[in-house]
Amino acid sequence: MNFTLLAAQTADSGTKMEIGDAAITAVFGYSVVFFGLVLLMCVLYITGAFFKSKDAKAKAALESAKKETAAKPAEAAPAPVDLPTAPGSAGHVKLHGVPDKEAAMIMAIVADKMQTPLNELRFISIKEVK
Amino acid sequence: MNIVETLEKLWNDSGFQSFFVGDGWKNLVMIAISCVLLYLGIVKKFEPLLLVGIAFGCLLVNLSYFGPESTDALYHPELWSQFLDESSEYYHSYGHVMAHGGLLDILYIGVKAGIYPSLIFLGVGAMTDFGPLIANPKSLLLGAAAQMGVFLAFFGAVCLGFTGNQAASIGIIGGADGPTAIFLTTRLAPELLGPIAIAAYSYMALIPMIQPPLMRLLTTEKERQVKMEQNRNVTKTEKIIFPIIVAMFVILLLPSTAPLVGCLMLGNLWRECGVTERLSDTVQNALMNIVTVFLGISVGATTAASSFLNIKTLMIIVLGLTAFAFSTIGGLLVGKLMYILTGGKINPLIGSAGVSAVPMAARVSQMEGQKANPSNFLLMHAMGPNVAGVIGSAIAAGFLLAVFGK
């Protein structure tokens, strides 16, 4: 092998820069990062607005469908059914402004913090404090 | 058989005698440093997955390489200087490295070609949930602001006499993103790879110590107590579209970011699209682990005593810390500005998470927020700037590569 001198290993890459050039490069570079991410932010806002409006339309359609169902004669609506509870259950939980999934999470967290099995606890109601 | 002659030959061939010849003592110093790094990785758990490999690579190279005559060395720095020397007949000759290199020379080809950092980004993308960023795109401003340290350290390095390429590689330590730092340094200033990689990973591990004093210094108790509103729900479709949009916009803006941003977004698309679970699982776990093995040990190999033990290494360590500190300050200042502009709805602590050490920096924001107000949960809000920082540091690296790369 024809090795070069060891000194060559630590040869500097690139060339020295003037301090003024370095300052301009630093400011310009920081601006480019901002420009790139602001551009991306605008795109995300546009796509977010599109999906929000789509979501709002779907919700409005759901609301109107609910209203139509409520406007129908009472006899058409099915009678409320008292759903059977699972063996060992302490009954139903009344939820006030809390989705089912969040209620399940809250109950699991409470059981975990109390170190008590979930089926030994009785939740009467869960209400969101606003 | 002459026993004395045989013993003498064995002694002359051994590494032990090399410690007492010429600059051999420097290898002893590096062996001590590698043991300190192993201690930090194993006992103090400083980024152990990479630091243990880097430290052991450092140990191996300093046990086997004592100068160009060390033909049994695992890594040969002079092979790589020939590789980079345009006047050499072996300029950019991987074949020459394969034919004459040791094990770590061959593994280092993956670093030199930019393969390992890009594959790590593939795994990072598959592990990252960009939901908090999509829900709150303003986070991108914090990710951009937290690149301040990159450019201040770059400027500081030029003032200290480093070349433009070296200063750019040193500055990127402030991006708090190991793979990006390695990727940029191998392209711009490979002679500094060892100290830069060690500084980057060490400071990332030290984020819980570096950031909190700055966070308390730059924010008031009232600002730290701010509870932020819950982010909106992000739909699956938005999460699928996000990596495609980011790849298109960022790569078109700065084509030099393509390997990093492309891999990051491909990994994320595999995660989110819902039909490639196997691939997502592989890049998050198996591939990530395999690449981490190769990356750590081959980066460690670049810390041969002859190139590591000099004043530049100390300067890099100081500049790296400066870069980290100013990146944190940049994020916090823009966080404060957003706090004022939104009438106190944004907690400025999430600004410091704009440095991209995911998820460590976001956890630090959460912890500081909770210290000020125990009912404060900033983690998900801080994850937005945190993942924005990954994209921001890739853009910063792309810019520096575009300016200083050949």
Consecutive 10-residue runs of chain B (406 residues): their mean pLDDT? Answer: 83 79 86 93 88 92 81 85 87 91 92 92 94 93 96 96 95 92 93 90 87 95 91 89 94 92 96 94 95 91 85 92 94 96 94 89 92 90 94 94 89
Assess if residue B152 is contained within a domain: yes
The CA distance from B138 to B67, in Å, is 53
Assess whether A122 and A87 both reside in one domain: yes
Do residues A108 and A66 both lie within one domain? no
Same domain for A90 and A53? no
Nearest to B235 among A11, A37, A51 (CB): A51
Q: Identify the segments of chain A with pLDDT beneath 70.
A: 1-11, 72-90, 130
Q: What is the pLDDT of residues B171-189, one digit of tens each?
A: 999 998 889 999 999 999 9
- Range of the structural domain that residue B240 is part of: 111-298+309-404
**What pLDDT does residue B21 have?**
79
| B115 in Cβ contact with B287 (< 8 Å) | no
Which of A44, A51, A53 is the mutation pick for testing B, counting most B CBs within 10 A? A44
* Parent domain of A114: 81-127
Residue B106 in any domain: the answer is: no
In a domain, residue A12? The reply is no
Global pTM value: 0.80
* Residue B84: DSSP 8-state: H
Is B101 part of a structural domain of the chain? no
The dihedral sign for the CA sequence B361, B363, B368, B372:
positive
- Do B140 and A17 lie within an 8 Å CB cutoff? no
Give me the percent of chain B exceeding a pLDDT of 70: 100
Average pLDDT, chain B: 91
How many domains is chain A partitioned into structurally?
2
Which chain A residue is nearest to residue B403, measuring alpha carbons? A25
Q: How many domains does chain B have?
A: 1
Q: A118 in a domain, yes or no?
A: yes
Using CB atoms, pick whichever of A19, A22, A48 lies closest to residue B134: A48
Q: What is the pLDDT of residues A2-40, one digit of tens each?
A: 434 333 344 677 788 999 999 999 999 999 999 999 999
Indicate the DSSP class of residue A14: S
Of chain B, the percentage scoring pLDDT greater than 90 comes to 65
Q: What is the model's pLDDT at position A7? A: 37
Task: Report how far apart, in Å, the C-alpha atoms of A14 and of each of A5, B162, B169, B171, B402 are.
Answer: 20, 9, 11, 15, 14
Please indicate, yes or no, if residue A21 is contained in any of the structural domains.
yes
A26 & A60 share domain:
yes
**In sequence order, what are the beta bridge partners of A16?**
B163
Q: What ipTM goes with this model?
A: 0.85
What is the token pair recorded at A55? 């979501």
Contacts of A9 in chain B (CB under 8 A): 77-78, 80-81, 191, 304, 306-307
Residues constituting chain B: 406
Task: Tell me whether B237 touches chain A (CB under 8 Å).
Answer: yes
- Sort out which chain B residues have CB atoms less than 8 A from A14's CB and list them: 163-166, 188-189, 404
Please name the residue ranges forming H helices in A4-95: 19-71
CB atoms A29 and B150 under 8 Å: yes
CB contact under 8 A, B391 and A8: no
Q: Are residues A21 and A50 both part of a single domain?
A: yes
Within a domain: A62: yes
Give per-residue burial for B96-124: e unless 16+ CB within 10 Å, then b: bbeebbbebbbbbbbbbebbbbbbbbbbb
Per-residue confidence (pLDDT) for residue A88, from 0 to 100:
57
